[in-house]
Amino acid sequence: MNINRRNFLRNAAATTFGLAAIPEILSAAMPINQKKKKGLISGLKTGDVVLFQGDSITDAGREKTKQLSNSQGSFGGGYAFLAGAHLLNEYAAKGLLFYNRGISGNKVYQLADRWQKDCFDLKPKVISILIGVNDFWHTLDGKYDGTVERYEQDFRQLLILTKKMLPEVHLIIGEPFAVLGCSAVTEKWYPAFDGYRAAALKLADEFNAVFIPYQSIFDEAQKYAPGKYWTGDGVHPTMAGSALMAEAWLKAVK
């Protein structure tokens, strides 16, 4: 998305704020993926494991001592909790096991460092990964020297290894996103940050993963309420933003 597009959305948000209901957000933002892997969850069998992986957006304040399956405390209060709880209710008779192993601050190389313990050991049938905003964000204060090339390369290696170890696994890749005009996200992020989004999409195609276009979703959402309604700092979603992400995730896989 270029600068003009972002400005358009901000202006649109101001003029259309007040619309009654918003079923249109996801139908506008997810035109392609709707049919991609419908039935992914309903096709799972008793005891199958679904794993959420990522950074603080996935972590969402979960406890990291017990790290139980299907547990509120171990799931935190983000999109993973909302999506997992929804499916545990809807598919109760399946006895599925949902785990959250997102860790705040993680970049893609840090997922790789803990992938044996926090992925392979759990023997997941579905892995949902949302990673990348820190791979860019942490370069801004000079404390991390990663590049978009390193992000793409590390992510690809992680996915190659994953497919090697778990040939039948279903992959879900979330688009890294940022909402301009909120406290942490400035014009300084662009166009560099857009490269990380493009890399995630490219990898989703390469590995036949379901792609959740969170950036398009948050862009559309701003037609109905301001950016801060969906994410306080432009990176971490609010209750509303988490629910929007969970709705999109569910729409892509159910």
Q: Confirm or reject binding of residue 61 to a second copy (CB under 8 A).
A: yes
Shortest Cβ 1–a second copy spacing (Å): 20
Stretch that binds a second copy, among 102-110, 131-139, 169-177, 225-233 (CB under 8 A): 225-233
Nearer to a second copy, 128 or 162 (CB): 128
Length of the chain: 254
Q: Confirm or reject binding of residue 88 to a second copy (CB under 8 A).
A: yes
Give the C-alpha separation, 88 to 84, whole Å. 6
Give the C-alpha separation, 54 to 248, whole Å. 17
Q: Which of 48, 54, 55, 98 binds a second copy (CB under 8 A)?
A: 98
Please, is 177 exposed, middle or buried when counting C-beta atoms within 10 Å of its C-beta (0-12, 13-18, 19+)? buried
Q: Which of 44, 82, 108, 209 binds a second copy (CB under 8 A)?
A: 82
Stretch that binds a second copy, among 79-87, 135-143, 187-195, 200-208 (CB under 8 A): 79-87
Token pair listed for 208: 């036949």
Q: Which of 59, 115, 242, 252 binds a second copy (CB under 8 A)?
A: 242
Please, is 161 exposed, middle or buried when counting C-beta atoms within 10 Å of its C-beta (0-12, 13-18, 19+)? middle
- Contact, 78 vs 58, CB < 8 A? yes
Q: Which of 38, 49, 91, 153 binds a second copy (CB under 8 A)?
A: 91
- According to DSSP, the β-strands at 210-212 and 170-174 are parallel
Residues at the contact surface with a second copy, assessed by CB under 8 A:
17-22, 42, 46, 60-61, 70-73, 75-78, 81-82, 84-86, 88-93, 95, 98, 221, 224-225, 229-230, 238-244, 246-247
